[in-house]
Structure formats: C-alpha cells, structure tokens
Amino acid sequence: MGDVTPKQDRSRVTRQRLLEAAVACLAERGWAGSTVSVVAERAGVSRGAAQHHFPTREDLFTAAVEYVAEERSQALRGLTGRSRAEVVEALVALYTGPLFRAALHLWVAASDEDQLRPRVTELEARVGRETHRMAVELLGADESRPGVRETVQGLLDMARGLGLATLLTDDSARRARVVAQWAHLLDDALG
C-alpha cells in the first residue's frame, strides 16, 4: 500500500501537465496545430502516457476546457470582499487572458467538429451559469429586482466582447475606460 500514493501523485502531476500543455497549445496554435502528440511533447510525457489519461483528442481538449473553467472559478472565488470596480476589472481580465483565448479556439473547433460540439456546448452552458452566479454574488446584486439579472449578463457579454477585441489588438487603454464606465453604471443599476 505504501507506494500507491507516489504513483497516484505522479499520475495526477502528469494529468495536470497535459492539461496545462493542452491549454497553452490551443491558445498559441489553435485547434489545427494542437494534436495529442504536440501536447504530449510539450508536457514532457510520452504519447502513450497522454493516451492513457485521455484516450481521444476530444477527451483531452474537453478536459482542458473543464480545467480552464475551474481555474476561472478559482480566480473568481479569490475576489470575495473586493470593490465593484475591482470585480468588474477581474471579470474582464478573465475574458482577456490566455485561458479565454484557449477556450475560444475550442469553440471555433467545436463549430466544425461534430464530436466536439455537444461536449463544448454543454460545458460552456455550465461555465456560463457558474460565472453568472459568481458575478451576482461578488457584485452583491439582488436579482429579484427588475433588470438586475440582465445587467449582470450584459457585463459578462461585454467582457467576452472585450476578450474578442484583444485577440486582434492590444486594446488595454480603451478597455480600462470601458471597465471604469461599467463599474460606474453597475453602481447606479445595482444600488
């Protein structure tokens, strides 16, 4: 029994490295350039080890997006007790960083890949609900008031839009002004 833990530990570390490598590959190379072999090489593990953890390419990248979603949730949980302006800034940062870029490549791939589409659609719906729920909590929004739910959803949609803009250009100066204005609007809308 003594050596089970180190083996499980190694297995967990290998899995983690594969997921991190998959996210990085997606963000840098897109779907076409992200094969299991490329990811395994980047993670420093054999293709066989990669396939032991993730039998198919779809398994690997769906797990990678789940991993991204969990990373995003953890980042959000760390914002408890922050000001609205800080929360808005952090929400936008989630959609303008490498994690979002990786997820975006997966969405694009899923739009063309029949095996991937249902998995990514289901996952994104779950991530969307969770992000909305956490945003409501962090912003101290009372969704029983008319328009509040839509206001929070509008913030998340706007953050996603800023994330898309960031793919093409460094939009940080304009983004800072938009984020400041949204924080101001939220204070009025949420009370």
What does the DSSP 8-state code read for residue 83? -
180-191 residues labelled b (16+ CB within 10 A) or e (exposed): eebbeebeebbe
Q: Render pLDDT for 150-162 as a digit per residue (tens, 0 to 9).
A: 999 999 999 988 8
The CB-based long-range contact list for 156-162 (8 Å cut-off, 24+ gap) reads 156/91, 156/128, 156/131, 156/132, 158/92, 158/182, 159/91, 159/92, 159/94, 159/95, 159/96, 160/95, 160/100, 162/92, 162/95, 162/96
Q: Render pLDDT for 112-131 as a digit per residue (tens, 0 to 9).
A: 888 788 888 888 888 889 88
Say whether pTM exceeds 0.85. no
Q: What was the pLDDT predicted at 77?
A: 86
Q: Could you give the percent of the chain with pLDDT greater than 70?
A: 97
- 73: closest CA among 23, 126, 14? 126
The C-alpha atoms of residue 60 and residue 55 are separated, in whole angstroms, by 8
The C-alpha atoms of residue 136 and residue 150 are separated, in whole angstroms, by 11
Quick check: 3 pLDDT over 80? no
